Copies of this chain bind each other. A is one copy, B any other.
């Protein structure tokens, strides 16, 4: 196991119930990366993206990516830790945009709107984003043990908890935020839209309703 660079948001795991200040990760990619490392990283991401476009996210093997990038297999793992890390890196751009939007973008997603409206907005935004990148998000799904340690998800959950705390101060926001996260999880969205054929509108209505009930 290795000390490969932190991908998305913050790294250390604050104790569960802590207020947990929200902050993005480094503004750019890896802080300082050796020239060859940076070059290979770029090559790998490009190769991976191409393979995803060609064969779908599911059919992308680590070895194939390595070969396509003219790089050793070990290098892939050194850089991205594991398969999930590589796929996650592919989603990094979109993820950062999303984070910026709900952390400091214009209302109702960003600060300025009342918390309940922000809750609605963040659900909509996530649903929209997910239906686009569903394949990749699904393939990037981390193993059950790490699912809740993924920085991006910790950040989002913290955000939901914050909004909930503002909207319903007398509730257990931590637990409720987990409930809301469940509704927005890529696997569920995939199941409902792709496997069950529900239209996006119904999921959005469901989110509205859920937010109403939870904050009501």
A residues with a Cβ closer than 8 A to B are 16, 138, 141, 144-145, 147-148, 171-172, 175-176, 178-179, 181-183, 185, 187-188, 190-192, 195-198, 202-203, 205-206, 209-210, 213-214, 216
Closest-CB distance, A119 to chain B (whole angstroms): 14
List chain B residues, Cβ under 8 A from A145: 138
The distance in angstroms between the C-alpha atoms of A192 and B157, with both chains bound, is: 13
List chain B residues, Cβ under 8 A from A206: 172, 175-176
Residue of B144, B148, B182 touching A138 (CB-CB under 8 A): B144
Residue of B141, B182, B216 touching A185 (CB-CB under 8 A): B182
The distance in angstroms between the C-alpha atoms of A197 and B182, with both chains bound, is: 20
Closest-CB distance, A214 to chain B (whole angstroms): 5
